[in-house]
Chains A and B, each alone.
Chain A
Amino acid sequence: MTFINYASREINCKIVYYGPGLCGKTTNIQWIFEQANPEKRGKLVSLATETDRTLFFDFLPLDMGTVKGFKVRFHLYTVPGQVFYDASRKLILRGCDGVIFVADSQRPRMEANIESIANLATNLKENGFDIRTIPYVLQLNKRDMASAAPVEEMEHLLRFRNEPTVEAVANQGHGVIETLKACARQILMEFQKG
């Protein structure tokens, strides 16, 4: 649910990057951070564990300007991908306005992608959201990998609601901004409807 604070005249939209371990969620928001106008971006809060995995969540606030006197901000979050940090993921999904699912295109990771989508559906449901209706984008990341599965095959396995699908190589920035735009568009449309 988009958080509107009339008193401070702010609208905060929360976008969560979800996906299996090492699929490139943090890489996505790191790229966005690097590309964003320094005046329009907040600090990227990104902490890693000793094994270089996301600690709890990454967080990047983006200032999207002013609409009708309200400051609009997008808050980008990533979740930890490891299967056993489910409680953290559930927590981070609270109050989200949109989800970007970052799928790892490498064929051996397909099962992990599917498991992660199932996990997303469960966690969204527990937070009162429906994966079939929430603003949602599927990003097929790591398209440059030798073992990448064909797009059609991935879509067949991972796409379930005609959601926008973006091919990406996040560490080179390909598809990263497009993905964010696709999600932001849906959120703003929902917001207008509301």
Chain B
Amino acid sequence: MALDRTKVQKQAESYLANGKIEKAIDEFLKLLDDKADDYNLANRVGDAYLQIGRVDDALAMFKRAGSGYERSGFTNKAAAVFKKAHRTVPDDVDVALRLAEAYRATNMIKDAMQVHIAVADIYSKKGLKKRALEEFSKVVELEPNNPVHKVKLADLYNKEGMKDRAVDIYLEVAESLAFEQRSSEASQILERAKAMTTAPKLFLTQCKLRVVQNDLPGAIQHLREGLAVNARSIELLEVLAETELKAKAPERALEALAQIPQLPEKGVAVCERALREMVRSGAVDEGMNLFKPIGRDLSRRGMGEQAARILRGAFSGQGLPLSAWLQMADIAQQSGDRAGRVEALSQARRLAEAAQDGSLMRSLDADLQGLGVQGTVLESLPSPVVPPSMLRPEPAASQEILETTEVDPIRRMQIQQLQREAEALTRSRSHERALDAYQKILDLDPLNLAAIDGIAEVHRTSGVMTRVQQHYVKMAEKMVAMEQRSMAIRMLDKAEELFPGSTRLHRRMLGLLGPAAPPPVPAKVEPVLEPVSDLDLSIVELQDELPTAIALGAGEPVAEPLPTESLSDLDVLIALDQTGAGVPSSLSVPSIEPAGTDTVPLPGIEEVEPLELEPLSFLKGIEQASPPSEDLLAVLSDIDFQLDYGSPEEARNEIRTALETWPQHPDLCARLDRAEEILRRLSPAPKTLGEEDFSDTFFDLTDVLGSSLDEGEEMHDATHVVEKIQSVDELFNAFREGVEQQVKGDDYDTHYNLGIAYKEMMLIEPAIEEFKKAMRDPERTLECCSMLSICEQAQGNLEGAVAWLRKGIDAPGFPPEDAIGLHYDLGEILAQMGRGDEAKDHYRIVRELDSDYREVAQRA
């Protein structure tokens, strides 16, 4: 039956007029039941409840009215109702927050801020500091340009021990003040942050302030200072690269980028710009050297296309030079892009031929053959005539080597025979004899890449990777003596691959850092010979199917990358060759045409000045303090290499020798201490020690440094990637250091998760540290107390476990039911400790809260 609203309304008004409030409310509620969206009525009912002192009911009614107004878009009305409710119950956070929201909606910002401050105060009184701070941060949000609020918030964070957040805000304020040209105030705020952190963000802000003042050297200086205390910080290195680029130092930008282990997207763009700048300024070889590790890293991460694009972009508008094609080949190899590699090697081979770099040609041919591309295609290319200025001069000595080794078929057969022998000896693990055989090959042909690699491979099987590295360095030295610069660079590159950074000194000493001879310009190269050999005929037969292969054979060097369709054609050629349908294998070794070199007058050899590597400026200070001589620097660099790559004994010997020349030199003494320390660490434990001596340490070092390993050796796995051996505790320490850099102090979630991770691995002490960090978040108090108690139990410290549980139970601001698990666990531990009565007290509390909780019914 329909409600007669008019009648009920009259009745209610009558009750009200006679002071019968409760009866009036009953009537009003009938009306509300009939029409739930009558928010004016709800408001009136709320008032009525207030009149008779039923505050909770009044509040519920006001909330209903306020929410209804809000939903209906009457924000002013909503604000008025919530204001009334807030005035009635100032401690009701829900009402206060709704009021603040209504104020925001009506653009009453100052009022909203006051309410947020009031809520922050409520939380603060309840001990919920984090929530209080969050509330205060809303005040800051409402007036984001007010630095006073921000600094106050930061001060509050600082006071609560949340230093990271405080620092973030100080830095933000400093930055915004700097942009407003309020430099002195910015500096003052920055000082507060400086006193609290040495994290990268501090130096980044300092850098920004300098950039705002247009002081790029100052900005760079700050970044380098930052790197001195935050080695390999990606953020710092990225910004450093950008700033160096802005400061017109693209080579330093690339140096910085090369130090980033996994170059992010943003860095890729900087890299491209830096490389382009270097190419424009003519520093092509240096640019290539600096880009090499970056390109390789990108390729390994499946971003080979991006690496290739950087290279192409750097040389846009001109053809890629030889060194770029070699890098393209490397990138393609790292990316697993066979077709790309064949293309790049072919292009490099063509340019090497144009430059008449015989050794490089042979090496490239070998690479191509390794990919199944027979030499005939390339061999058939007519020797191009290159303008004299573009040719790299080869001395008479190397010409002689080429002529004697390449032309003499008997010698070639001897080499082939020795090669087979060496390979067989390697397979049968007769390493010494294999080395002899390879050495004989090198006696016949000092530039034989297969033999050089063969020796390296033999050394590699011994597991001593420094030998492999030293072998390549020695070969580089020989190549330089024979004026084979590009081969020497390749050797050093191989050494560098094994130990990044290890060849810097050698490159400097061998003069391989300076710009190489200018690369040939393919566009000017013209063929002098027609393709007339038998080899060409075999290709001509495939002409219809393989137009690109023929185009390649026509001797017109292609500066730009081959079009895609030509790649597929080349693949067809390779496939045919592999199945034997192409060129006979006996013709696979390409020969150098001496005539080509005879017809071209050679220019004089230009002396290339070795380029001194600019030390990083943050190291400059150290060097200036006691400037060592050039010789000493070289020795120190050698020693550092040995120390870094696991040859401490050799390092110690070298230091002792050097100390005879530079007695008591502090740098040498410091390194001697380091070497001794490493050797001590690597020494096997004295036999007198028993197992009990290690009972306190969790890590079993013998697990890591197995008895089968020689001291100081590097190990390599099947992937030939070299790592220094580190014990678990060394690794773990390095890991934790890294984590500290990666994870902010107030990233409580991650600290909590790490705590669990460590606890799962039974790394209890570190787990405890992480949980303590996570506990700075007041809302995690209970979980953290529980986990800390578990950790203490794992260590057998039951008293400690009890203490943590009690701390959790007593924590303010949590409803009693939240601590039910803590009470139960506490009961369990107390029972375990024989304190049955105390245990029962806690079980009883649990039962009162939830009688079905776990097995409390039995325990209590």
Contact = CB atoms under 8 A, between A and B. Distances in A.
Interface of A: 3, 5-10, 12, 14, 20-22, 42-43, 45, 47-53, 55-57, 59, 61, 73, 75, 77, 80-88, 90-92, 94-95, 109, 111-112, 145-146, 171-172
Contacts of B728: 87-88, 91
Chain B contact patch, size range: 35 or more
Interface in B725-761: 725, 727-728, 731-732, 734-735, 738-739, 742-743, 747, 749-750, 753-754, 756-757, 760-761
Interface in B789-822: 790, 821-822
A91 B732 CA distance: 11
A10 B300 CA distance: 39
Interface string B253-265: 0000000011000
Nearest to A90: B703
Contact of A61 (B262, B721, B725, B753): B753
Nearest to B727: A87
Contacts of B783: 5, 7-8, 10
B722 A21 contact: no
B807 to A, nearest CB: 13
Contact of B739 (A45, A49, A84): A45
7 contacts: A55-B735, A80-B731, A87-B699, A112-B717, A112-B718, A146-B336, A171-B301
B603 interface: no
A53 B735 contact: no
B822 A7 contact: yes
Contacts of B718: 20-21, 83, 109, 111-112
A85 B747 contact: no
B560 interface: no
Contact of B825 (A7, A49, A95): A7
B34 interface: no
Contact of A47 (B735, B756, B782): B735
A95 B721 contact: no
A45 B750 contact: yes
B753 A49 contact: no
B832 to A, nearest CB: 16
Nearest to B705: A84
B760 A94 contact: yes
Given A21-B719, A59-B753, A87-B703, A43 B735 contact: no
Contacts of A146: 336, 338
A82 B336 contact: no
A95 B762 CA distance: 9
B601 interface: no
Nearest to B734: A55
A75 B854 CA distance: 26
A90 B763 CA distance: 13
A52 B725 CA distance: 15
B336 A94 contact: no
A36 to B, nearest CB: 14
B500 interface: yes
A171 B302 contact: yes
Given A7-B786, A22-B721, A52 B703 contact: no
A39 B734 CA distance: 29
A59 B757 contact: yes
Interface in B818-848: 821-822, 824-825
A136 B4 CA distance: 71
B723 interface: yes
Contacts of B747: 43
B786 A8 contact: yes
Nearest to B338: A146
Contacts of A53: 721, 723
A45 to B, nearest CB: 6
Interface of B: 261-262, 297, 300-302, 336, 338, 500, 699-700, 703-704, 706, 709, 715, 717-719, 721-723, 725, 727-728, 731-732, 734-735, 738-739, 742-743, 747, 749-750, 753-754, 756-757, 760-763, 782-783, 786-787, 790, 821-822, 824-825, 854
B717 A7 contact: no
Nearest to B715: A84
Nearest to A22: B719
Contacts of B723: 49, 51, 53, 82, 84
A87 B700 contact: yes
Nearest to A172: B302
Given A7-B822, A8-B782, A146-B336, A45 B725 contact: no
Contact of B731 (A7, A21, A88, A94): A88
Contacts of B704: 84-87
B502 to A, nearest CB: 12
A151 B88 CA distance: 73
Contact of A6 (B301, B699, B731, B854): B854
Given A75-B756, A77-B757, 11 more contacts: A3-B760, A6-B854, A43-B747, A45-B739, A45-B742, A45-B750, A55-B738, A84-B715, A87-B700, A90-B703, A94-B760
B725 A94 contact: no
A5 B790 contact: yes
Contacts of B302: 171-172
Contact of A14 (B297, B727, B760, B762): B760
B438 to A, nearest CB: 23
A104 to B, nearest CB: 9
B838 to A, nearest CB: 18
A109 B718 CA distance: 8
Contacts of B725: 84
Most chain A beta carbons < 10 A, residue from B261, B734, B761, B821: B761
Contact of A145 (B261, B336, B500): B336
A7 B821 CA distance: 4
Contacts of B739: 45, 47
Contacts of A86: 703-704
Contacts of A92: 761
Contacts of A73: 753
A116 to B, nearest CB: 10
Nearest to A112: B718
Contacts of A95: 760-762
B699 A52 contact: no
Given A55-B734, A55-B738, A83-B715, A45 B743 contact: yes
B769 to A, nearest CB: 15
Contacts of B821: 5-9
B739 to A, nearest CB: 6
B721 A51 contact: yes
A82 B757 contact: no
A171 to B, nearest CB: 4
Contacts of A22: 719, 721
B750 A42 contact: yes
Nearest to A86: B703
Given A45-B739, A51-B722, A86-B704, A8 B757 contact: no
Given A21-B717, A56-B731, A112-B718, A50 B261 contact: yes
B700 A52 contact: no
